[in-house]
Structure 1
């Protein structure tokens, strides 16, 4: 109520506050995502004291909050926010929430505001008379914004020379990774999503790495596990916050076959999954030779991504798809879906040196390390924060 008292003290006699707990006559019971006033009520609105960053974050909180500001603010009215958006990523994430309705008219940094918020950013927006239609590109392509490209320049260096012992070098490289969420504030996002493409078992990377090690800034992520191998499906039924997509990520919706073609010395372990190898459309499966084949369903991963997440979500992706990355990544660019992903952990499959057999390369993959390096480099040059995974 102190902000309300201050406003009334300077002559804004009809100022009123909103809080979960009412304190009549200054504060009315309500929430930021459900403001208890009619449309076009206010000439001026204010939110501060870290309320946005520190409030509980149910799904769609940020989008609901921005929509409520738009609904209750009069046309050409102003809304001011005090937030901890001190880096360009968090600032743009916050501003993006209001792109559909408002223009930024003022940004001001305030130092030594108080002990709880020693550095705050004051952002003032003005409501336009009608909602702004988001620009659409008929060819589906997109351009990664400059503030995201800046984070790529801060990422760890790529391993340019092919490792002689990739099973050691790439695994050790994980310690060098500069996670996006360790470099920027991710508070001002609508939802938090982790997509594991080629998830295998829950413990393979979701349970053992993402949920235990990825820095989440106390945000709750919903997990999508994309895994076509039926061996792993049953265990996902008991995992909370995880949605299983029991299909293969592909460039279109169609039936596929995948090949199980092990490296020399690789043994088949009962109950541990077969390890999906290369996939091809069913009608083209004559190109496989010597491996076990199984029919599976593939889906257009890029279109699914566009229908599942938005630019206001924070999206982390891990991709381990046995060589299909050379099909999926170009498709993400072609459709513009690549701009929906904030961070990618990509295992690129090539004819690597074998641990079992010195001097021999893997016969499973035709791509070279240079082609993998080119894929990583092209992603980063396009502004996509990608890390070499193992």
Structure 2
């Protein structure tokens, strides 16, 4: 008898545990569907309840500031959705829908959007803009985001959309998604791929300055600017946004860029083989002034001038560039200026830069072997591809002399049979720096260059102008070498360089007058 009771007790315990396990599985599935996958829950998802298909959500007047909004499970939402997701009932979602509805109604009235347009909303986490499109009668609308929110948003990315070429008549990018992208170039290219010829692209961005606006238009070179206006946004982080309307080039559409509002380039300046816009020249007016008078202690004055430098990236938004590049010409050691200055001090706006270190001195090459993100060019920047003879300064007074040749170590000289006790002559490969630059970066890249080439700047800079490569550089930090006063000996100048401070100042002035943002380096 006792044995029978014991067996029933064990069986009951097993059944209870099995029941609890099943409840746990169902709860876990429900949590996954609703919170992780972002879908609504129905019987197909092992959920044992669902909202009725005709369930309406009415926003009260105190929930939405502008007007009452009725969100319903209408025929614009696919019939596969058997209920209303909780997200759609939230105040934030309703406000967003109301905002986008106003935007899309205006675009319909202006002819940029039609009810028959096949439309795409890019990088939309909630799908509020897609919902607004469907609520306004643009039924063939879909969104894309890495985390889907069915039935409005499918899985994908702005830089890798799960659609064929040229399928959309209208593409919308709200919430500043372009500048938030870490790969804005790929983002723009992917939109250009999926947008039909003569289709419309509408972007909301926080870009206000002329530099970033011009960079944005260059980014979307598949399209022509149609209209731009400032509007009030709904996002607390973007209270005011710029709405840009563009049209993709078609067979009969001019691909030339429209004049930018407030940025007419009629007074721009041609720099040999390239053109510098007025807005770039305006930025130079905001830069720190050049040191007009030759400093008696240049090793102090030029170093202190670093505190006054107005970096370009501290004046403008650089988000709309395809790529970010730092070129250190005469890099010396890895810790010299790449680490001690560029990585620590230059304002990079959270952008990742490709770094090129150009250094001919073999004594520094081993330092770059295992540095990620840095490409070493073990040559001398020059005006053509040729083998050069270099005089290497072994002056022990240089602080890096114990490592090899020290700062200011390499100077181009004519081949000679003469030998000097304090110098060594080496042969090294020089390369056409201007040609390399034109084949490495583009006008859509953000390029920062530091140049410390021991007097060769008087050869390289004119070649950059001659070839037009100078216009590929956004900002230059240039050390100009001249017969400066020596630290060791009062009243004596170095005989190492033949140029004067006046000639250096003329070089800096000519660069700025030509629309090139250059800073005096030390």
1:377 alignment partner in structure 2: 509
Matches within 5 A, 1:309-320: 309-320=441-452
Matches within 5 A, 1:233-252: 233-252=365-384
1:356 alignment partner in structure 2: 488
Cα deviation for residue 268 of structure 1 reads 8.1
Larger radius of gyration: 2
TM-score normalised per structure 1: 0.92
1:161 alignment partner in structure 2: 293
- Whether 1:256 aligns to 2:392 is no
Listed one character per residue, the Cα deviations across residues 140-176 of structure 1 (whole Å, up to 9, x for unaligned) are 7111222222211110000000001101100000000
Cα deviation for residue 248 of structure 1 reads 0.3
Listed one character per residue, the Cα deviations across residues 190-229 of structure 1 (whole Å, up to 9, x for unaligned) are 1111000000001110011100111111111111000000
**Which consecutive residues of structure 1, in runs of 5 or more, have no partner in the other structure?**
none
2:191 alignment partner in structure 1: 69
Matches within 5 A, 1:39-50: 39-50=165-176
Higher fraction of helix: 2
Relative contact order (alpha carbons < 8 A, sep ≥ 6): 1 or 2 greater? 1
Cα deviation for residue 70 of structure 1 reads 1.8
- Whether 1:326 aligns to 2:464 is no
CA RMSD of the aligned region, Å?
A: 2.2
Contact 1:261 1:364 in 2 (8 A): no
Cα distance in 2, alignment partners of residues 116 and 265 from structure 1: 54
Listed one character per residue, the Cα deviations across residues 99-136 of structure 1 (whole Å, up to 9, x for unaligned) are 2x21100011124543111221111100111598899x
Contact 1:257 1:285 in 2 (8 A): yes
Aligned length: 379
Contact 2:392 2:405 in 1 (8 A): no
Cα distance in 2, alignment partners of residues 84 and 78 from structure 1: 20
Contact 1:92 1:147 in 2 (8 A): no
- Whether 1:92 aligns to 2:225 is no
1:218 alignment partner in structure 2: 350
CA change 1:368–1:341 in 2 (3 A) is same
Contact 1:232 1:273 in 2 (8 A): no
CA change 1:106–1:132 in 2 (3 A) is closer
Cα distance in 1, alignment partners of residues 327 and 241 from structure 2: 33
- Runs of 4+ in structure 1 off by over 6 angstroms are 131-135
Cα distance in 2, alignment partners of residues 235 and 92 from structure 1: 39
2:338 alignment partner in structure 1: 206
**Which consecutive residues of structure 2, in runs of 5 or more, have no partner in the other structure?**
1-126, 258-270
- Whether 1:10 aligns to 2:136 is yes
2:415 alignment partner in structure 1: 285
CA change 1:156–1:111 in 2 (3 A) is farther
- Whether 1:34 aligns to 2:160 is yes
CA change 1:264–1:246 in 2 (3 A) is closer
TM-score normalised per structure 2: 0.69
